[in-house]
Amino acid sequence: MTTPHPPKSGEGDLTQVSLSSLEHYAYCPRQAGLILLEQTWTDDAATIRGTLLHQRVDTPGNQARGTIRTLHALPVWNDQHGLTGVCDTVELHADSRVLPIEHKSGRYVPGGPGDLQAAAQAMCLEEMFSRPVPQAVVYSGTDRRRHTIPIDETLRSRVLQTAQQVRNLLDRGELPRPPADRRCKRCSLATDCMPKLLTGTGRYQDALTRLYCADDQDNA
Ligand code: SF4
């Protein structure tokens, strides 16, 4: 999913973190901050392509074909780890396998933010269906193929660590500094973010940085 989901309070003290915010934070902590703290969202060609790709899978429903039942736009959660969101597609196989499929319009990046989001979906489905979900899939619209991801311990740890970093961001309420690197070229929020202006050397930079950036990025 590419549409931002505002966080909401969960039961107990653990703030629920949306699956989409994990992806945003993994891509760029400042991007997550702009969306979660300032409700900033701007579409560009890539995000509109993503929206169009999601139109079919964002319509709730289910269909059966052969030994597979396919669910679309399934709300998911993991209360133990404070995660919540929506799965684009979930396949329920006759042999009891549950397989989440995250749809991306762009090319697949191995180990990238899409893997993190798909792993978090798998962790939600494990709690909901009370069974292991050892794999997830990222479908790339550019590649036109599925990329299967093993949900190993390293990926699970990254999900939990990133979720905590998002909570820290929400608690602190300050925008992280912009990394101002190659990621910005593919970021639809570049105009709102002003990465070059805030990291440049002009006469107003210090004042702007003090105004718009946290003292340190949160890497806890
Ligand atoms: S423009 Fe760059 S620094 Fe700003 S949110 Fe996007 S990726 Fe992050």
Q: What total number of domains does the chain contain? A: 1
Domain membership of residue 182 (yes or no) is: no
Number of other CB atoms surrounding residue 41 within 10 Å: 14
160 within domain boundaries: yes
Structural domain contains residue 100: yes
Whole-number Å distance, alpha carbon 42 to ligand 1 midpoint, is: 12
Provide long-range contacts, Cβ within 8 A and 24+ apart, for 128-136.
Answer: 128/76, 128/77, 128/78, 129/98, 131/96, 131/98, 133/98, 133/99, 133/100, 135/99, 136/99, 136/100, 136/101, 136/102
pLDDT band at residue 61, thresholds of 50, 70 and 90? confident
Tell whether the model's pLDDT for residue 30 goes beyond 70: yes
Kindly compute the dihedral angle of the four CA atoms of residues 85, 88, 89, 90, in this order, to the nearest 10 degrees: -10
Residue nearest to atom 7 of ligand 1 (CA): 184
Q: What is the mean pLDDT of the chain?
A: 86
**Which atom, in ligand 1's list, is nearest to the CA of 31?**
5
Could you tell me the distance, in angstroms and rounded to a whole number, from the CA of residue 23 to the centre of ligand 1? 13
Domain-embedded: residue 56 = yes
Closest ligand 1 atom to the C-alpha of 33?
A: 5
**Interval 164-194: pLDDT, tens:** 999 999 999 999 999 889 999 989 999 899 8
Structural domain includes residue 115: yes
Question: What's the CATH code of the domain at 88?
Answer: 3.90.320.10
Q: pLDDT per residue over 116-126, tens digit each?
A: 999 999 999 99
Cβ atoms of residues 22 and 116 within 8 Å: yes
pTM higher than 0.85, yes or no?
no
Give the residue numbers spanning the domain of 133: 17-174
In a domain, 3, yes or no: no
